[in-house]
Amino acid sequence: MSGRINSYSKLKGKALSLRRTGLSYSEIRSRVAVSKSTLSLWLHGIELAKEHRERLKNKIGISQPLAAKAHRDERIRRTKEIVERAKSEIGEISRKDLFYFGNALYWAEGSKQKEHNRGQRVTFNNSDPMMIKIYLRWLFECLDIKKAQIDFEIYSHENIREKEKGVVKYWSETTGFPELSFRKIYYKSDKKKKYRKNQGESYYGLLRVVVLKSTDLNRKIAGWIEGICFQCGVV
């Protein structure tokens, strides 16, 4: 028993000695095999010389950005791993799947007919290019809408006016429609100058997709959505 106590006492003495030379807790733990809590208890209250405090301060200043980068890299790696695994869980999408998916998209982002507006056309608004592509595919493949029936409008704040040509080109390439299809661009002026998240280089405004002469189709979509709700047992 006394031998164990002596060994413990030697470890403590070594830790105290190393701390007085200005070593950090992690540096001491690499040489003294004790827990962090034990080390903290032993070293509590020991004053370090000014040069030692400066060294540790500089060490922290260097190690923190490195630790932050390592944490960020690990987060990116793990995110990518989770996304790829989840992506592989999605099988082939059938036309029926697309039909239901398109109705859900329209339910979330499409314009519905209201009591005060019974003549609402089929109109879909979004800034996500992938969502726009899937929505258009739904129109073409499931609803048999022709390209000639589609009209586009772009809405944004003044912050993208200077890159208007690039915006038109972007939405043209996204949708597969010619640039002449995007002549309707509407800019909204902010009454107050404030920071907006949607003002970076990757922002191209909100695209409104309008199906011409589609009031009855809007009513039909409303019926499909009600049917989905019924079959899911929520009404």
Please give the full DSSP string across 8-31, using - where no structure is assigned.
HHHHHHHHHHHHHTT--HHHHHTT
| 118 and 79 together in one domain | no
Specify the pLDDT at position 15: 78
Residue that is last in its domain, among 42, 65, 85: 85
pLDDT in tens, 26-63: 787 888 877 878 877 877 777 777 777 777 677 776 66
- With beta carbons less than 8 A apart as the criterion, state whether 177 and 154 touch: no
Supply the DSSP symbol for 179: G
Collapsed DSSP state (helix, strand, coil) of residue 178:
coil
User: What is the value of pTM for the model shown?
Assistant: 0.69
Collapsed DSSP state (helix, strand, coil) of residue 217:
helix
Residue that is last in its domain, among 53, 85, 117: 85
Six-digit token string for 223 = 């019926």
| 99 and 79 together in one domain | no
Going residue by residue through the chain (235 aa), what tens digit of pLDDT does each one get? Answer: 555 656 768 887 787 777 777 777 778 788 887 787 887 787 777 777 777 777 767 777 666 776 777 788 889 999 999 999 999 999 999 999 999 999 999 999 999 988 777 789 999 999 999 999 999 999 999 999 999 999 999 999 887 788 899 999 999 999 999 999 999 999 987 665 554 555 567 889 999 999 999 999 999 999 999 999 999 999 8
| 191 and 106 together in one domain | yes
Distance CA 42, CA 19 (A): 10
| 49 and 127 together in one domain | no
Does some domain include residue 31? yes
Six-digit token string for 179 = 């640039």
| 217 and 176 together in one domain | yes
Phi-psi region of 212 (alpha: psi -120 to 50; beta: other; left: phi over 0): beta
Bridge-partner residues for 155, per DSSP?
186, 206
Q: How many domains does the chain have?
A: 2
Does some domain include residue 90? no
| 127 and 164 together in one domain | yes
| 125 and 186 together in one domain | yes
Residue that is last in its domain, among 46, 67, 85: 85
Specify the pLDDT at position 231: 95
| 100 and 46 together in one domain | no
Tell me the residue range of the domain where 159 lies. 95-231
Does some domain include residue 133? yes
| 123 and 184 together in one domain | yes
Does some domain include residue 207? yes
Does some domain include residue 177? yes
Does some domain include residue 132? yes
Phi-psi region of 88 (alpha: psi -120 to 50; beta: other; left: phi over 0): alpha
Gyration radius from the chain CA atoms: 31
| 101 and 183 together in one domain | yes
Question: In Å, how far are 33, 144, 190, 206, 210 from 139, measured between CA atoms?
Answer: 67, 6, 34, 19, 11
Does some domain include residue 142? yes
| 133 and 193 together in one domain | yes
Six-digit token string for 52 = 């030692």
Six-digit token string for 136 = 């258009």
| 137 and 202 together in one domain | yes
